[in-house]
Amino acid sequence: MFARFARPAAVVAAIAGALWSASPAQACPFCSAVQLTFAEEIAANDIAVIATLVERPDEPAGSDSNTPFAAPVSAETAKSKFQIANVLKGQDKLGDTPAFEALYFGQDAVGSKFLVFAVIIEDKPPTWKTPIALSERGVKYIEDMMRLPESGADRLVFFQDFLEDADPLLATNSYDEFARAPYKDVIDLGPRMKHEKLVEWVKNSEIPSSRRRLYLTMLGVCGQPEDAAMLEEMIRSPLREHKVALDAMIAAYLNLRGPEGLPLIVDLFIKDADAEYTDTYAAVMALRFHGQERDIIPKEDLKAAMRHMLDRPQLADLVIPDLARWEDWTVVDRLVELFKNADETSAWVRVPVINYLRVCPLPEAKDKIEELRQIDPDAVKRASSSLLLLGGGKGNTGGTVKRPADAAPAK
């Protein structure tokens, strides 16, 4: 018997951003950067330097020297002094300035190195931001990074050496560099990827899902036939911990197996009405990735796979935008029936159906819209607004219908 449950907020947000978008994927289409990279921070600020902490402010009277002290009442007396060791950007704005003061309440020892940014507002002196403590390896990392090309596989090969680094600052920045790089750069890196490391990280259940998604994406580029067997075992596993980052796992599996791997995914997650919603959604995302970013699986096979979702009315809206984007006009009558038969468990399918019909070039599509307008004029109106909002036209068929919080079915 089916129960009702709330679709995870992150999944709902992803649907809103991805269903009708045709924008190119990033290096990791299934994850996102944690924060701005060092390179982006440097580009966004007027000045960037490596500096040495040379003097702390005096501690307030009565404070314990073994514990962090509270900020003094005056911001000026709370500032630490730093000596500039290397100017990464903004030498023309610094001139001969050898040192500066900045607010810093950390406990790193005098002599420690920091990455520090500053902005210049009008003609005022630089406004220094909170210093970022660096290890000696971190200093070399930043300095070497400054000599890298702005993009391409030759840039990524440097950051590859710091994925899962013991220094979390370097590991996070390197991950973010991959997460923001064009997918083509990752493909070009393929021959130089560290295959054995990637396999080790994919198997490690302690690695966070976001980073595991990246490693699965990379393994899908450089993997071997035995890797496809490993991924299939994980995909088939009944254990939830084996399916972490399932979307990227399926995409990687299909990269390695090609069309021969598609029936397994369709049978497990697309056709099976008892499949968990999160697994079905992951499979749809993986198929969408292959339809938009790769040419490994024929588009007709992907269309046929997506059409099976129309047999699951409560989830059919997940794939209607893809069928429209891929110009599959064979399902007009099926979508009209979905619209007519929609109830409180599948009402959200109506707006995507109308948007599909609005971009469909078949002459009967316009007549179908008028027919459906008599059934639910509000749905037609909402579809018109969402399509107009996103610009309409080929490849962009409108917005996402929001569901009630408890609307999606699952076992």
- Looking at residue 5, what is its pLDDT? 34
Phi, psi of 66 (to 5 degrees): -90, -5
Q: Which residues of 305-341 are buried (b: 16+ CB within 10 A; e: fewer)?
A: bbbbbbebbbbbbbbbbbbbbbebeebbeebbebbee
Nearest partner of 27 among 214, 189, 160, 211, judged by Cα: 214
- Burial category of 384 from C-beta neighbours within 10 Å (exposed 0-12, middle 13-18, buried 19 and up): middle
Domain 38-145: top CATH class: mainly beta
Mean pLDDT in residue range 282-291: 96
Q: Are 310 and 316 in contact (CB under 8 A)?
A: yes
Confidence category of residue 240, pLDDT binned at 50, 70, 90: confident
Mean of all residue pLDDT scores within the chain: 86
- Looking at residue 404, what is its pLDDT? 40
DSSP state of 223: -
* Rounded-to-integer distance, Cα 154 and Cα 147, Å: 11
Classify 88 as helix, strand or coil.
Answer: strand
What pLDDT, in 10s, does the model give residues 207-238? 999 999 999 999 999 999 899 999 999 999 99
Domain boundaries, the chain: 38-145, 313-411
* Rounded-to-integer distance, Cα 352 and Cα 43, Å: 41
Name the residue with tokens 């790193």. Answer: 108
Q: Report the DSSP beta bridge partners of residue 87.
A: 49
Phi, psi of 88 (to 5 degrees): -85, -30
Confidence category of residue 384, pLDDT binned at 50, 70, 90: confident
CB atoms within 10 A of CB 116: 24
What pLDDT, in 10s, does the model give residues 332-378? 999 999 999 999 999 999 999 999 999 999 999 999 999 999 999 99
